[in-house]
Structure 1
Amino acid sequence: MELIVYLAGQIHDDWRNQLKEKADGMQLPVTFVGPMENHERSDNIGEEILGQQPNSILKDEAASKFNNLRTRILLRKSDVVIALFGEKYRQWNSAMDAATAIALNKPLILIRPASLHHALKEISEKAQVTVETPDQALAALSYIFEE
């Protein structure tokens, strides 16, 4: 059995690569998918496809259409969603992806530090598992495959 795992969260550091490398080291039978990690491409995809937009608001709206298309397809194909919330960045997309996973009845592993417990209490209550670190999320995935 192999699982498709959608990694929701900010794209400003390499948390996904670290998690993927550890999963490889654990030999977990998973395929990771997620949002476009190239921030510049994510911001510019609307203009790359539709052409130059007249202002920054319309540029953002055009890009969001293609990013939402990608997210919708990959979230629907996923077996599990891991949503990371951290201290450094505001996590609007993580919240949206976690809520979508809940609405689609996808199992959700929520990663958040204890300091964000109150702010994320409702999402945490809907998640199957809430953990504080990516390593704990990987341990949860690993447990699925134990016999």
Structure 2
Amino acid sequence: MELNVYLAGQIHTDWRNEVKEKAIAKELPLTFFGPQENHELSDKIGEDILGAQPNNLFRDDAASSINNLRTQVLMQKSDIVIALFGEQYKQWNTAIDASMALTLNKPLILVRPESLIHPLKELSNRANVTVETVDQALEVIAYIYQ
């Protein structure tokens, strides 16, 4: 049985590659989806498709609509969502994606460092499982196959 996993979270580090490499090493039959990792493309996709916008508000709104559609489609095709919260970047997109996973009734594994226990307590309480590392998240998934 192959599972589809949506990797929600910031796009500024290579944590997704780490997850993919570790899943291969564990021989887990997983297919991965995630947000658009090309930040420039993500920011300008609205204007690329709809044309020039009158100001940054409309530019961001156009791009957000298309990015949200993409996220919804890929998340709906996923069996599990892993949402990684890190300390280095603002995590608004991760919070939105984790909330979407809950709304879509997708099993959610929340990855967050110990320093974010308090600020993420409500979200952690709603997630199926909360862990501190991607290794632990993959162990949770590996357990499905045992």
Identity level (%): 66
The one-letter code matched in structure 2 to 1:88 is Q
The one-letter code matched in structure 1 to 2:95 is A
Size of the aligned set, in residue pairs, is 146
Question: Mind listing any 5+ residue stretches in structure 2 that lack a counterpart?
Answer: none
For 1:24 and 1:38, how far apart are their aligned partners in 2?
Answer: 24
Q: Which residue of 2 aligns with 1:145?
A: 145
- Deviation at residue 102 of structure 1 after TM alignment: 1.1
Q: Which residue of 1 aligns with 2:35?
A: 35
Q: Give the superposed CA RMSD.
A: 0.8
Query: C-alpha deviations, 1:11-33, integer Å up to 9, x for none?
Result: 01111011111111111111000
- Deviation at residue 65 of structure 1 after TM alignment: 0.7
Report SS of the residue matched to 2:141: helix
Mapping 1:11-90, distance limit 5 Å: 11-90=11-90
- Deviation at residue 98 of structure 1 after TM alignment: 0.8
Report SS of the residue matched to 1:4: strand
For 1:3 and 1:62, how far apart are their aligned partners in 2?
Answer: 32
For 1:78 and 1:98, how far apart are their aligned partners in 2?
Answer: 13
For 1:126 and 1:2, how far apart are their aligned partners in 2?
Answer: 25
For 2:102 and 2:19, how far apart are their aligned partners in 1?
Answer: 22
For 1:31 and 1:58, how far apart are their aligned partners in 2?
Answer: 34
The one-letter code matched in structure 2 to 1:20 is K
For 1:20 and 1:40, how far apart are their aligned partners in 2?
Answer: 23
Q: Which residue of 1 aligns with 2:110?
A: 110
Higher mean alpha-carbon deviation, 21-30 vs 2-11, is at 21-30
- Deviation at residue 8 of structure 1 after TM alignment: 0.4
Question: Mind listing any 5+ residue stretches in structure 1 that lack a counterpart?
Answer: none
Structure 1's consecutive aligned runs of 4 or more residues displaced over 4 angstroms after TM superposition are none
Query: C-alpha deviations, 1:78-113, integer Å up to 9, x for none?
Result: 100000001011111111111111121111000000
